[in-house]
Structure 1
Amino acid sequence: MVSPQRCANPRVSGAPLLVSTGSVAGPTIGRVRCRSVDAGQDEQDMLTPFVARMAMLTVSAMALAMSPVGAQPAAAQRVGAQKVAAQGAAGLQGIWRNGSDSVRIKLAPCGSSLCGTVVEASAKAKADAAAGGTARLVGTQLFHGFRRGEDGLWYGRVYVPDIAQEFDGTIDQVDRDTIVGKGCLLANFGCKSQTWRRVSAKR
């Protein structure tokens, strides 16, 4: 017959223990079993692994939250930039004429950039170009190496056939059918602008 009693555990200050005594095989041999009834200690033992797991999950969640939402690998960013530039170039492609319609150019991709090549020119424009040192105006690139900047402008080199020289320049698309080309001698010094209008396709 086993009867529960209380015993003191010298290693646990103030912690009552339940004691059960009972006979086992053999004469008058008793065995004492003590079990701590300190509920707080038992709960602490049970919660320790749980708290550790929760701490690990919290740290993982914080690390995920701190990651930039829109972060992309460098390669993906480059591909995105190329797509944006390609879409902008598509809006510039076509035949354009200057204000007097003495010169027409074709804007089209050339490698990884955009170029504008003369496809038609009046007799006077050809003569002026020849006098300035450009023997054959038709087929000459007036715009070459143009790439779209972050500000939406296109940057490249502008060739002036009347003086046979090229300068740093920009192309600004004002609207679907109007662009403004600008060339500068140095930075923004000695700049000259020219408006070009899209030539509608013949129907």
Structure 2
Amino acid sequence: MRRLTALAALAMAAMPAIALAAPGITGVWATGSEGGKVEIYRCGSALCGKIVDASRLRTNPDLRDVRNPDSSLRGRRLKGLVVLRNFRGGPSEWKGGPVYDPESGDGAATGYLTLRSDGKLEVKGCKAAIFCRTKVWSRAH
């Protein structure tokens, strides 16, 4: 009986470590648009996201940020472009910004990431409290 109690206590003590090992939102996400994939990764004490793939990038890996409203930024390569910056929070909601959409050239100063119970990620960018746009991403396989 003591051995069973000790095993149960050991298993309970290990639970937080197992929870910490869960992937959270880091990893590669399919954006659902143009075959796009964004990798969310740790950048210091925050989370950031960069473009790692898209159907147009497979055809032309040297594509540039031509839709950017700032003409001085239009020469940036899309592959590796950071589109999410400085997100903090968790375990299911993060706030940060800026957020950038290279398909449209639109950016938002503030963003929200919400990990839904179905495992999908809501990515929301807001220019003002009432001017927001949300996309739903799925974990890439």
Normalised by the size of structure 2, how large is the TM-score? 0.66
Give 2:115's aligned amino acid: Q
1:144 to 58, 77, 85: 85
2:107 is the counterpart of 1:171 = no
Give me the identity figure in percent.
30
- Equivalent of 2:93 in 132, 136, 153: 153
Counterparts of 1:121-136 in structure 2, within 5 Å, are 121-123=54-56, 129-133=65-69, 134=74, 135-136=76-77
Partner of 1:77 in structure 2?
Answer: none
Write the letter of the residue equivalent to 1:155: K
- Please name the residue that 1:102 is paired with: 35
* The structure with more radius of gyration: 1
Amino acid in structure 2 at the alignment position of 1:181? V
Question: Once superposed, what is the RMSD of the aligned Cα atoms?
Answer: 3.0
Counting matched residue pairs gives 113
Gaps in structure 2 of 5+ consecutive residues: 1-15
1:94 CA drift (Å): 1.1
Which residue matches 1:57?
Answer: none
Greater helix fraction, Structure 1 or Structure 2: 1
CA shift, 1:111, in A, is 0.4
Shift of 1:123: 1.8
Larger relative contact order (CA 8 Å, sep ≥ 6): 2
Runs of 5+ consecutive residues of structure 1 not aligned to the other structure: 1-82
Post-superposition offset of 1:149: 5.9
